[in-house]
Amino acid sequence: MAQVTLSRITKRYPGSDTPAVDDVSMTIPKGSFTTLLGPSGCGKSSTLRIVAGLSKPDFGTLQMDGRDITHLSAAKRNIGMVFQSLALFPHMTVAQNVAFGLEMRGMGRSEREAKVARALDIVELGHLAARHPHQLSGGQQQRVALARALVVEPSILILDEPFSALDRKLRETMQIELYRITRELGITAMFVTHDQEEALTLSDSIVVMNQGRIEQQGTPREIYGAPRTRFTAEFMGLSNFLPARCSSGALSFEGLTTARPETLEAEGDCTVALRPEGLSLSSTRPEGAALKGHLAEAIYQGASTAYTLDLPSGRRITARTPDCGLQPGQEAWVSWTPGALHAFAA
């Protein structure tokens, strides 16, 4: 296991005006599971490929345990990589696939076989060792790819959206397994996904990326609970953005003044976001901060109902709460739990 540090990594593909990776710096501590999270095309794979040594940065350096590896070839970095397309070797059996990395390291046959058997046991595939990849289901192929990457005891395990091709149920099972395996073995991992839930489930640390740049990094709690930009907030499922002003002790929006959240760093113009799931509605004025509006729509969605409320300013907010019996056309008050309100620089 190793600590990996990216310093000011920048990569621009030929023929493109904007860099795919723009001045990215981060540290992946030893034994930590770090996730790059962002929409498709934001430069996650490009960053991973640079860490893996499959592509060279135009600028910036890469260190592993303090050693500069910027110019070291992929073959010498001691990484274990799981590709989005899995990239299993189609002409080799499951056991040969898993053994490949050990063979390239010159390990003797008996030691190799013991390690392969153990790795296949970890992913519960021992009974399929003699099959070829095309004879396996999607989930089984996934496990082979994972075993192949784990067996070499990599300094860092790199996974590029490994579960995106799986159906929801299988994906959740694999996430739990990956969590268990990486924590049991104390693996340093760098994971890429565009799925915020997956990132929150698996990670010790999340790096939110947008257009090649790092938007915010922190623990899942920090990223989810205190997004610092509108982009991160939106990516973490926040909506109901309202313009606001903040001063030394107070935050005001939609004619309401409340206490200023501790996490807010801005002064002057800022934006407030309200998590739809944290809002509740009532026909009478509740205690504490609340906004009054006109109920425009109520859409029943089973566990919750989505209410759309027109505010006097003309802006709309959506609340998702258990059905509260209010009908469209009525006046209603909306209030929120403390964790549902976020504010950040506009």
Partner 1 sequence: MALTDTAPPPQAQPAPRKPLSPAWLTLPGLCFLVFVLLLPVGWLMALSLKPSMPGAFTMEGDWTIANYLRFFSQPFYYSTLIKTLWVSALTTGITAVLGYALALIIWTASPAKRGWVVLIVLSPLLVSIVARTYGWMIMLGDRGILNQALLGLGLIEEPIQIMYTAGAVIIGLVHVFVPFMALCVLTSLEKIDPKVPEAAMTFGASRWAVLRRILLPLTVPGLASGLTIVFSLSISSYVTPALMGGPRSGMLTTFIYQQFAVTLDWRFGAVLVTLLLALTLLVLTSILALAARMTAKWSK
Which one of Mg ion, partner 1, ligand ADP, none interacts with residue 224, CB within 5 to 8 A by kind? none
**Burial environment of residue 78 by CB neighbours within 10 A (0 to 12, 13 to 18, 19 or more):** middle
User: Taking CB under 8 A as the rule, which mask of x and - marks residues 115-154 in contact with partner 1?
Assistant: -----------------xxx-------------x---x--
> How far is 158 from 256, CA to CA, in rounded Å?
47
Closest to Mg ion by CB, 45 or 188: 45
- Which two tokens mark 309? 């409320």
Single-letter code of the amino acid located at 101: G
Which residue's structure tokens are 């010159």?
106
Q: Which of residues 34-53 bind Mg ion (CB under 5 A)?
A: 45
Q: Which of residues 156-175 bind partner 1 (CB under 8 A)?
A: 158
Least separation in angstroms between residue 16's CB and partner 1 is 13
Residue from 13, 121, 180, 323 touching ligand ADP (CB under 6 A): that is 13
Residue 225 is a binding residue for ligand ADP (CB under 6 A): no
**Residue 282 contacts by C-beta under 8 Å, 6 or more apart in sequence?**
324, 332, 333, 335
Residue 90 is a binding residue for partner 1 (CB under 8 A): yes
Residue from 52, 190, 199, 200 touching partner 1 (CB under 8 A): that is 52
Closest to ligand ADP by CB, 38 or 154: 38
Residue 104 is a binding residue for partner 1 (CB under 8 A): yes
> How far is 297 from 139, CA to CA, in rounded Å?
42
Least separation in angstroms between residue 178's CB and Mg ion is 18
> How far is 227 from 221, CA to CA, in rounded Å?
10
Residue 291 is a binding residue for ligand ADP (CB under 6 A): no
Which one of partner 1, Mg ion, ligand ADP, none interacts with residue 46, CB within 5 to 8 A by kind? ligand ADP
Positions in the binding site for ligand ADP (CB under 6 A): 13, 16, 20, 38, 40-46
